[in-house]
Amino acid sequence: MIYTDKVMDHFANPRNVGTLPDADGVGQVGNPVCGDMMTFYVKVHDGKLADIKFQTFGCGAAIAVSSMVSEMALGKTLAEAMAITNEKVAEELGGLPKNKMHCSNLGADALHLAVRNYRDRAAGGTAKMAVGGEHEHEGEEEGEKTGSCPYCEGPLEGFEELCACKHCHTDLVECPACGKYTKKAEAACTHCGAALSK
C-alpha cells in the first residue's frame, strides 16, 4: 500500500488535533467494519469556522484525512465547509489507496455532522453531539439508495429495500431506524444498534 508524501506528512504531523470543550458543534462518525472513529469540534464566528479540532481513532489514512479536512475547513463559511466532499479530500491528499477511500467519506461526514449540530443548536436544539455517518449523495432520487457496502466498501446503487452486494455477495437489508444498509443475518443494525425485524 503506497501513500503520498502529503498523506504521510498529515499522519506524522496532524494539524488541529484535540478537543474544544466549548465547541459550538460536535459531530462523530464511526465505521464498524474498519474500526475508525472520528469526532470533529467546531467554533463558529460570523458564519465562519473560526476553530476546528478533531480526535481520530484509526489507521494512518484516517488520521491524515481528519487533519486534511480540518485544514480545508478552517476559516471557511458553513456552506463552504458543507461543500467539502470525500473526492476533494482525497484529491488534496494526492490520492488514497482504493481500500482507504472510506476514510475520506468519514472525515467529510464528521465535519458535516458538526456543522449540522451547530445549526441545530442555533435553532434551539439541545443535542450535545451529532452522531452518525450519513454520506451525502447528490442527485439521489426517490426510492433509489446509494452508498457503499458496510462490509467491502463496494458501491450500492439503485437497490430496493433488500439487496445483496454485488462485490462481496453479502445479503443486506435497510435498517428501519437509521436507513443504512446492514447485514440481513444480524439481529441489530451494525450502524445504530437498532433491532432488525425478522
Contact 148, 155 (CB under 8 A): yes
> For the CA atoms of 71, 75, 76, 78, what is the dihedral angle to 10 degrees?
110
**Which one of 34, 165, 175, 189 is the catalytic residue?**
34
The CA angle 41-83-178, to the nearest 5 degrees, is 65
Provide the b/e sequence for 27-53 (b: ≥16 CB within 10 Å). bbbbbeebebbbbbbbbbeeeebebbb
d(CA 129, CA 121): 10
149 classed as catalytic = no
103 classed as catalytic = yes
Q: Strands 145-148 and 155-159, how do they pair?
A: antiparallel
d(CA 112, CA 83): 9
Catalytic residues: 34, 103
